[in-house]
Structure 1
Amino acid sequence: MVCEATGADITEVAKAIGTDSRIGPKFLQASVGFGGSCFQKDLLNLVYISECLNLSEVAAYWQQVIDMNEYQKSRFAGKVVERLFNTITDKRIAMFGFAFKKNTGDTRESPAIYVSKYLLEEGAKLHIYDPKVEEKQIFFDLVTMMPTEDPEGVKELVKVHSDAYSAAKDAHAIVICTEWDEFTTLDYQKIYDSMLKPAFLFDGRKICDHEALVKIGFHVETIGKRVSRSPLLRGWASTTTSTF
């Protein structure tokens, strides 16, 4: 957040911190949030143990790590709504990635689940593509996350695709939630041409070539870095219509 406000690049900050051999460069890259079954569980165990030992300050410290992770997911999802002119009702949003990290079909505690829930509650229509997560798992996670909603109603708002190109067709925006290598090699000119305009891309894993995307015409938002606005977008903000 500090980097975005000041114009710094979180990648450069992480590289500098990573030169300290006591830390190393791993796990320093900014993202929409961590997931998986282990890390959060281990942190919660630390909170519990600290509280049992009457170490309230220590417990509060580790609880804050969890709280900040939840806030990061909320902040990222909220930015999608804000940048899409503060409404995503009936807007088609393509989500690239649903697993909590690349090279797995594991969705436990995946940030994509939270982001999906947030966007669905705001009225979006989600079109999801993940190379490994099965369709039944995606629907199970979303229905479980939204117990007060009609399961059939959730399914009407979500479509799972077999490739990224079909997911992005006629979309208002792309939201990248998993750092699959595939997403760095897609033909984004082809994707851009198939989308509604203005076309937005929200890179929650900071894996794409943002300057190249801006040159194509995308309006790009990412984590931990301020991206220059596409000149093709500047005229849209003052001429928004119901098609957006």
Structure 2
Amino acid sequence: MRLTVIGTGYVGTVHAACMADIGHEVLGIDIDAERIASLSAGHAPVHEPGLSELLARTVRSGRLRFTTSLAQGSRFARTHFVCVGTPQRPDGKAADLRHVDAVIDGLVPHLRPGSLVVGKSTVPVGTAARLGRRVATAASDCQVAWNPEFLREGSAVHDTMHPERIVVGVTSERADAVLRRVYGHMLRAGAPYFRTDPATAELVKVASNSFLAAKISFINAMAEVCEAAGADVRLLARAVGADSRIGPRFLAPGLGFGGSCLPKDIRAFTARAEELGANEVVALLNEVDRINTRQRARTVELARKLVDGDFTGRRIGVLGASFKPGSDDVRDSPALAVAEAMQDEGAHVRVHDPEALDSARAARPGLGYALDVHKACEEADLVLHLTAWPEYGRLDPAALAAVVRRPLLLDARNALDEESWRAAGWHLHALGRPLRHEADLAVDGVS
């Protein structure tokens, strides 16, 4: 089939390259001419495992091309995927749909009869119906369907090629048939396929993200109880997660979630639920958001306690800048929020990250950065582990101890091997875990 993918950011680039790789002819469209030129040369716009190789391969094959022209896209195909961003509005919690609306406004004058516009952007429920009325004013039998994406940064290529489910919100048999043909490769491999109405498809995405966010906030709320009770949240999470009705995934206690999806999606869902009068959902999601944001403050509070209640003049080494491992995305990064909060209180902060230093420098230019872990921690009074990159789990604790001023570590992700770090002389602390020795808070003068 011939397809267009409108919007060549994270979701659009991955979708376009994967669709071309399974045999479709794909034309990627974006208003950013510089990005289009880079993509046409086979260069991925983001760090995502496997994407660079996939993009280069599909561009070389000729099945994937790029343009800035919606008119050219309409001449090229009758099936158009909309993959532009829907960030949080600057004046509130609701999703900003300007980019989605701009695509529809630009595409409608060029649509050919029988065109299908397929939304993949995360939008408030009711958006597809509103856009459908606009698209219906174009050429005959033009329709809108909604096909939400469920990509995880760090495994987006795999998630697209081997989806856990495909959800399509359609209003006709023809739209359903088109999307079954688009995803035929995945369906033949056994991917579950859910045909719904557009409103349900829109809600599936935000409901899924809200549930995952609620699991994370739940275990972090339990971490605070564990601290007060002298219990260990890691052991609690393992035992709770062993229940097959609950499962262990997303029960990782620590600094909480960030990124471009979960925070803004639950806030946009809250705003839409409030508009619809679903007040119980509003209360639930507001609390999920509050607990998650509170984890950042709690991390700063514990770090402050570990340096005798005052960051002024303290040297802090920070391990991690991206909001999660496997990505260079620093949007709403908990790690950078904590680093900046400590620096605002007078600390000298130096941040390391395996992939996200350029993104972090652009987002938070006032922080210090280091290309080498040991340089980031040199003469540090405290080291914070804020992003759970596998590289940090493979560090030599003894070698790192040799460069710091105090072997004092706050593992805000509960991901490092406690015994090996303690054996190397480190005093390790974490959210939701009791202190093993009261003397740990009096290391080299720290009380």
Do the aligned partners of residues 100 and 222 (structure 1) sit closer, same or farther apart at CA in structure 2, a change above 3 Å counting? same
Please give the secondary structure, in 2, of the residue aligned with 1:94: strand
Q: Distance in 1 between matches of 2:333 and 2:244?
A: 30
User: Within the alignment, does 1:34 sit opposite 2:243 as a pair?
Assistant: no
1:222 aligns with 2:430: yes
Q: Does the 8 A contact of 2:234 with 2:414 survive in 1?
A: no
State the partner residue of 2:361: 139
**Partner Cα separation in structure 1 for residue 409 and residue 291 of structure 2:** 23
Cα separation, 2, equivalents of 1:218 and 1:107: 29
User: Structure 1 residue 20: deviation in Å?
Assistant: 2.6
Residue of structure 2 aligned with 1:11, choices 234, 254, 258: 234
Displacement after TM superposition at 1:19 (Å): 2.3
Distance in 1 (CA, whole Å) between partners of 2:310 and 2:380 is: 14
Instruction: Report if the CA contact (8 A) 2:410-2:429 is conserved.
Output: yes
Contact kept? 2:306, 2:441, Cα under 8 Å: no
Matched, 1:2 2:232: no
Contact 1:214 1:229 in 2 (8 A): no
User: Which stretch shows the higher mean deviation, 36-45 or 62-71?
Assistant: 36-45
The answer to whether the Cα contact below 8 Å between 1:3 and 1:9 also exists between their aligned partners in 2 is: yes
Cα distance between partner residues in 2 of 1:68 and 1:201: 24
Which of 176, 182, 185 is equivalent to 2:394?
185
Aligned CA distance change for structure 1 residues 219 and 49 (closer, same or farther; 3 Å): same
Whole-angstrom distance in 1 between the partners of 2:377 and 2:262:
32
The answer on 1:107 being equivalent to 2:330 is yes
Distance 1:214 1:227 in 2: 12
The number of residues matched between the two structures is 224
Return the alpha-carbon distance in structure 1 between the equivalents of residues 291 and 405 of structure 2: 33
Cα drift, residue 178 of structure 1? 0.4
Q: CA deviation at 1:115?
A: 0.2
Deviation at 1:139, TM superposition (A): 2.4
1:5 Cα offset (Å): 1.9
Shift of 1:235: 6.4
Q: What is the CA-CA distance between 1:17 and the residue it aligns to? A: 2.0
Q: Which runs of 5 or more residues in structure 2 are unaligned?
A: 1-223
Q: 1:28 to 1:208 in 2, by over 3 A?
A: same
Residue in 2 that maps onto 1:150: none
Paired residue for 1:121? 344
**Residue 62 in structure 1 maps to residue 285 in structure 2:** yes
Give the structure-2-normalised TM-score.
Answer: 0.47
Q: Does the residue aligned with 2:410 lie in a helix, a strand or coil?
A: strand
Distance 1:100 1:44, change over 3 A: same
Deviation at 1:219, TM superposition (A): 2.2
Deviation digits for residues 32-72 of structure 1, max 9, x if unmatched?
11011111122112211221122223201101111111111
The alignment's TM-score, normalised by the length of structure 1, stands at 0.84
Q: Is the 8 A contact 2:270 2:285 kept in 1?
A: yes
Contact 1:30/1:205 (<8 A) preserved? yes
Does the CA contact (< 8 Å) of 2:322 and 2:360 recur in 1? no
Q: 1:68 to 1:232 in 2, by over 3 A?
A: closer
Return 39-48 or 77-86, whichever deviates more.
39-48
Match of 1:148 in 2: none
**For residue 245 of structure 2, what is the aligned residue in structure 1?**
22
- Mean Cα displacement is larger for which, 226-235 or 13-22? 226-235
Give the structure 1 partner of residue 415 of structure 2: 207
124-133 or 204-213, which deviates more: 204-213
Counterpart Cα distance in 2 of 1:233 and 1:4: 15
Q: 1:89 to 1:29 in 2, by over 3 A?
A: same
Counterpart-to-counterpart distance in 2, 1:45 and 1:23:
26
Instruction: Letter of the 2:317 partner, please give it.
Output: A
The equivalent residue for 1:146 is none
Unpaired stretches in structure 1, ≥5 consecutive residues: 144-153
- Structure 1 residue 164 and structure 2 residue 373: aligned? yes
CA RMSD of aligned residues (A): 2.0
Equivalent pair of 1:219/1:230 in contact (CA under 8 Å): no
Report % sequence identity: 31
